[in-house]
Amino acid sequence: MSDPAVMAIDRLDKAGAKRELARLALEIKFHDAAYHRNDAPEISDADYDQLRRRNSDLEARFPNLVRPDSPTHRVGAPLAEGFNKVRHARPMLSLGNAFKEADVADFLAGIGRFLKLPEGEPIAIVAEPKIDGLSAALRYENGALVQGATRGDGEVGEDITANLRTIADIPHAIDGAPDVFEVRGEVFMTHDAFADLNRQQLAAGKIIYANPRNAAAGSLRQLDADITSSRKLSFRAYAWGQVSDLPSDRHSGVLGAMAAWGFKVQAHAVCTSVAELMAYHGKMEAGRAGRPYDIDGIVYKVDRLDWQQRLGAASRSPRWAIAHKFAAEQAQTVVEDIDIQVGRTGKLTPVARLAPVTVGGVVVSNATLHNEDYIAEKQIRVGATVLVQRAGDVIPQVLEVVKPGAKPFVYPIQCPICGSPAVRDEGEVDWRCSGGLNCQAQAVERLRHFVSRNAFDIEGLGEKQIAAFYAAGLVTAPGDIFQLRQRLEGGEGSYEKPHGKPLREWEGWGETSAANLFDAIDERRAISLDRLIFALGIRHVGQGNGRLLARRYESLAAFTAAMSPDRLDELLEIDGIGEAVARALIDFFSDAQNRAGWDDLVAQLQVQDMVRAATTSPVAGQTLVFTGTLEQTSRAEAKARAEALGAKVSGSVSAKTDLVIAGAAAGSKLKKADSLGVKVIDEAGWLELIGTTNE
C-alpha cells in the first residue's frame, strides 16, 4: 500500500491535499480514542501507522496546509472515568515511528542538521526494547512515592497512585535520589500472568481479555485497588519527568542511577551508527517470540542530555527519540460478512467480520475496511480468503486477498439505520448518511461524543445510558441532559411517558447511582468555552480548532455572534481555520434545529471565558518570520525556541508580522518587511532578545 500512497500524494493538488488532511485528522482522532480511551482498537498498529505516515508526508509536501487539529500536534489518550485528574509538570509525549533502515538514517541525519553538527560527528544513541503496555509517571519527593498517574492525553492523566503502589516492581521509597524525581515507565503484564488472569476470569464467568496490553489496562484502571493488587502487573522505568536535579549528563547514566535506586530498567545498548542500531534491532526482533512479555519495536534516544534539551519536541513527540517498529505478524482467514457502521458525522464505515483466527497469540474476528476505495483496491469480497496482519492490536489489517471471494460487496445507497440517502461528495473517500440528527445512529453518537472525556466528561453517563435515555425519548439533544433530574424526579415539567417512574426504580439503577448521575451532570454545568465548542461534534472541529476558536473569541457571547454567514470571511482570517472548518461551523449554526438546541443548551450552563495565559517572554503572542541563513543555530532550532516562548512563527511576511529575524543572504522577505515597516533584527539581536527571558 505504501508505494500507491506515495504516488497518490505526488498527484494531489492543493485542494485535494486539503481535503485529504481533513479526512486523516478525523480518522486518526477516532482511532486514538478507540485505542487509548476504550482499550479497543479497530485497526492494527501497522495500519494506524500508515495513516500517520500519509498525514506526515502530506504535511511535508504542503506545509502551509498543516491543520491546528493535525494528528502531529496531538498525543491521543482520553482520560478514564472515576479517577481524579493530574496535570503533568512536563508533558508525556508520544514517539514518532521508523519502519525501515532509511527512516533510522533520516532520524540521525535530522539530528545532525538540527544541531548543526560537523559532518561525520558520531551521535551516541541509547537503544532499548519497546514494551507493549501503558505509560505511567511516579513522583517521588524526598525519596517517598507521593503520586502515580497515567499518561492520559499527555497534559493531564488519571491519579492511580493506590493502584500503582500494589505493583511489586515499584518501590514506595528510594534512597539517594534528588529531592524531586518523577520516574516514567511502562506497566505491562507477562504472558504467564495474562494466561493466569484469563483462567481466573473464565472460571468466574467474567470477560476474557484479548491480549496482555488490554489486560494490563483493565487491571490498572480498576477503581478498587484490591483488584489491581490481585493481578500480576510489572513495571520497567525508561525515562523521567520533572526533577530537581539529574544524576548524570547522559540518558544511559540516568537509567543506571534509577536501577541503583531499585527500579527495573530495560536492558539497553549505546550505539553510534545506523549499522549498529539495525544490528541491535534485528537481534531483538529475532528473539521477541522467546521473551516473557510483548515488545513491538526498539526505541532510539539521543544519549547526551544537553542535546536532548536543544532538540526539544515537535508537537506530539520529542525530536531526540523515535520508535523503530517490528514487522507485523500475519495469518490467513475468511471474510464471512461485511457490515456498515454509522458514526456521529454520518460516515459509513465498512467492517469485515472474519472467521476467528489467532494472530500473534490473539484471536481476532473483525477488521475495519475504511472505505469503498479500500475495498475496491484490495478486491475484498465476502467469502474471500485474506491475509491479515497484527502489530499489537486486537483487530488486524487486511493485507491482501489470497483466494477471491464469490460475492462482491455493494456499498449501500441508503443509511442502514435511518434509510436516508447515502452520499459521497466529490473529492471525498467516504460515504455519509444525509439524515443528520434525524438519523438515530448519528444522534446517539453525537450525544456520546458530547459526554465523552475530552468534552463534558459526565461520569456515569456512558454509551449504554445514552442509548437508553434516547430510546425513552428523554435525551434527544444535549440540552436535555441537564433536564434529566427534573424530568425523572418530578416537579413542574416532569416527564411522564413512557417512563413516569423515577430513575432509581429503573432496571440497573438504584438510589445511590441515580443521585450520583444527577450530581455529576450538575457538576458539569460549568465548562470552558473550548470544551463546549469541541463537545458539539461539528465535523472538522476537533480539540485543536475548539481551542483556536475559543482563544480568538474568548467569550460565549462573542463566539455565538460570530457564527453567522455574514461573518464567514472573519472566520477565514483566523490562522489555522480553513474553509472546510469555517463552512462546517456556519452550516451547523445556520440550521434552525441546531441553533435552537444551542440556545437551549447554553441557557443551562455557566460557560467560562478563555483566559489568556500570562507570560514574561518578550515575544509571547507575537508573529515572527525567520529569513536568510542563521549562523549560530539551525532554522529549525530557532523556530522551536520561538514557539516555546509563546510566539507564532510564520513562513511569510505581512502587515500582521511583528518581527523579522534576518540572517545572512536574506532576500524577498526582508525587502517586504522593509516595505511594510515591520521591525527587523539580525541573529545576534534575536539571541540577545530571547536571552533576557527566564522561560
Positions marked catalytic? 130
Virtual torsion, Cα 70, 71, 75, 80, nearest 10 deg: 100
- Please give the span between the terminal C-alpha atoms of the chain, in angstroms, as a whole number: 45
C-beta neighbour count of 85 within 10 angstroms: 14
CB 647 within 8 A of CB 623: yes
* Grid cell digits, residue 556: 460565549
Q: Who's near 424: CB < 8 A, 6+ residues apart?
A: 372, 430, 431, 432
**Amino acid at site 689:** L
- DSSP-derived pairing of the beta strands 526-528 and 606-608: parallel
Integer Cα distance of 497 and 2 in angstroms = 56
Rg (alpha carbons) of the chain, rounded to whole number? 26
Residues 6+ apart with CB under 8 A from 505: none
CA 191/CA 260 separation, integer angstroms: 27
CB atoms within 10 A of CB 213: 27
| Burial 523-549, CB ≥16 within 10 A → b, else e | ebeebbbbbbbbbbbbbbbbbbbbbbb
Q: For every residue of 442-463, which 3-state class applies, written as one string?
A: HHHHHHHHHCCCCCCCCCCCCH
Task: Choose among 50, 7, 35, 40: nearest CA to 328.
Answer: 50
Q: Please say whether the beta carbons of 640 and 310 come within 8 A.
A: no
Longest dimension (CA), the chain: 79
SS3 percent helix, strand, coil of the chain, rounded to 5, is 40, 20, 40
Among 68, 159, 81, which Cα is nearest to 534's?
68
